[in-house]
Amino acid sequence: MREGVGCSLLAAGLRELKGRTGLSLVGLAARTPYSKSSWERYLNGKKLPPRDAVEALCRLAEEPAGRLLALWELADADWSGRGRSGTTPGRGAADAARRGPAGETAARAPGAAVIAEALPRAAAVPPAEGVPPEEGAGPQAVAGRKPPPRRGVAVLAGACVGVVAVVMVLAFRDGVRSPSEGAAPGAAETTGCRGAACDGKDPESMYCDRPEQLVTPAERTAAGGEHLQIRYGTVCGAVWGRLRGGRVGDRIEVSAPGARPRSVRVRDRFDAEGYLVTPMAAAPRSDGIRLCLYPAGGGPRECVTG
């Protein structure tokens, strides 16, 4: 799991919602645009989920999205490195707070209360069975006298320290940065590849499909009802195809000038129920791109050109 309070809390919150839905990973993949393997990585904190994935899980669990989106913001800062300043989060945040007007810090940390609520929820895990008794528990313990609740006090103190640290990180991130620090990193800093390095890779895994850096040069609905979309990542400099409403056996192929064509096939009903995307093909421009559908059963292909 990625280190960071935000990453841990987000993963715990997502697992909580998954349990509430009663869905398996296969079920989540069938009801969202994200694959079974992607959900496994999101739920275990191995990868930051797209914001849309968090919202989709909230809808399935009938949970208002505000709490999880606040955790997503903090986890996003952990993944990008924006949540780290100095040797410890608290020290950098405290220094920044001293530079700001009194009262401004707390007022401009909108996610603090949500995070404070999430910490005890994430920590609410039953103790493992078979834990040895406290050292020094003698006849007094047997007679019914309880030893001092050292462990409980330590856990509570740790949670309080965590709340304070997270609140200070949020305040620093959202309220008291200088103008030069206030701008979020450029999109190029948050993608996993650019140009030829994206060739053959998954657009979601490389963060090339973020809305602010994504365009759809062309789309069409095929005769059989399948919907085709050409997607272009403006920062990644790569293109891919997307299919919705496909049938088992359908195949789509995207091609760009000077790049190897990339294709994907609808393998089962779960692929057919959600969105299916091809690997990326490097493309310096969004024109001259073609996406073709090859229907199951050998019918005539249908194409759309960007």
pLDDT digits (tens, 9 = 90+) for 32-55: 888 888 898 899 888 899 999 999
What's the confidence (pLDDT) of residue 279? Answer: 93
* pLDDT mean across residues, the chain: 72
254 confidence band (pLDDT: 50, 70, 90) = very high
Model-wide pTM > 0.85: no
Domain with CATH 2.60.40 in the chain: 195-305
Q: Which fold has domain 1-127+152-180?
A: 434 Repressor (Amino-terminal Domain) (1.10.260)
What's the confidence (pLDDT) of residue 95? Answer: 40
Between 156 and 48, the more confident residue is 48
- As a whole number, mean pLDDT of residues 207-227 equals 89
- As a whole number, mean pLDDT of residues 281-298 equals 91
Tens of pLDDT, residues 172-213: 344 333 333 333 444 445 788 999 999 999 888 888 988 888
What's the confidence (pLDDT) of residue 292? Answer: 96
Residue 259 reports pLDDT greater than 60: yes
Which tokens belong to 152?
A: 């409980």
Domain formed by 195-305, architecture: Sandwich (2.60)
Domain with CATH 1.10.260.40 in the chain: 1-127+152-180
Cα torsion 67, 61, 269, 261 to 10°: value is -10
What's the confidence (pLDDT) of residue 265? Answer: 92
Tens of pLDDT, residues 49-80: 999 999 999 988 888 888 989 999 998 888 87
Residue 168 reports pLDDT greater than 60: no
Percentage, residues of the chain above pLDDT 90: 27
Tens of pLDDT, residues 9-22: 999 899 988 888 87
83 confidence band (pLDDT: 50, 70, 90) = low
